[in-house]
Structure 1
């Protein structure tokens, strides 16, 4: 019963999210850089949501922050953990979600559609905002190696301790 409720909430949010994409796309279509502006607005929306989604526990190491993002924060957002975490043991981490919720209904032929770019921008914003709330300033990028997998990489230049 609880799982059905979570699925309903998730589906409702996905529907709302796609409507938000349409709204920003329509609001910026008259601009010469409308698509870029819409992506920026959606990424910022994700950032603000990410910032507000975390009560700021204090961590003493970078790996504690990353573990919290993978287990606590991602689970809070999507009711599941990150599938895989990779790092270059420096300041770059790659979070791999093998079934990213907003990509499960996307067909492979739609991989390069503007909506998919908006989904990735929002995901980057969520991660960047969450990390920002934990005191980590970073650059976040996303890529789709194959549908519905999403790889989110973040680079924390100059972060040596928390």
Structure 2
């Protein structure tokens, strides 16, 4: 009987919540290197094709730093999106489908926030036309961000690290059947606001 009980109720492996922070620190560094290599290869290919007149000469490029940061944010968002989608699959497995958009957003604010950041969202506002504003006054991933160069540099780093979390929310919403955009905003640490824009039903 104990074997059947063990099979029916398997032990769920758990890890310390700080592991996500450590993972994200290393992911940013690794993805930054990977994105710079991919960007360099793309530019070399464009230049080579332009030399043999297969394509027009590339227009003046933005600063290399900006394009590298954009590529890094895109990769972090994609990684977060996959994590968010997988997390929602686990959390809604035994629940009935949500009937409306507001229920899905409330699920994000309560259950997803609790599972990932061990608290609920502090404030949820909506204009009832597809825009939802989620405010967290003490967003856990931003609690430990600092910089020896000062608060402006710390804010810039926070905006970069929020790309993963915005992707996580976007992936969770997508798995719930809601395609939209998630824009993170941070003006003072550790306060954070996520603006979710969903198409009107």
TM-score by length of 1: 0.86
Deviations 1:43-81 (A, max 9, x none): 000001001101344111122111111111111111111
**Which residue of structure 2 lines up, in the alignment, with residue 3 of structure 1?**
none
- For 1:39 and 1:28, the matched residues in 2 are separated by 10
Offset at residue 90 of structure 1 (A): 1.5
**Which residue of structure 2 lines up, in the alignment, with residue 52 of structure 1?**
86
Q: CA RMSD in A?
A: 1.8
Question: What does residue range 1-162 of structure 1 map to in structure 2 within 5 Å?
Answer: 9-30=16-37, 31=39, 32=64, 33-55=67-89, 56=92, 57=95, 58-107=97-146, 108-113=151-156, 115-158=157-200, 160=201
Offset at residue 36 of structure 1 (A): 1.1
* Structure 2: tracts of 5 or more residues without a match: 1-13, 40-63
Structure with the greater alpha carbon radius of gyration: 2
- For 2:31 and 2:159, the matched residues in 1 are separated by 13
* Runs of 4 or more above 6 Å deviation: none
Residue 39 of structure 1 contacts residue 117 of structure 1 at CA under 8 Å; is this kept in 2? no
- For 1:157 and 1:66, the matched residues in 2 are separated by 14
Offset at residue 110 of structure 1 (A): 2.6
TM-score by length of 2: 0.70
* Structure 1: tracts of 5 or more residues without a match: 1-5
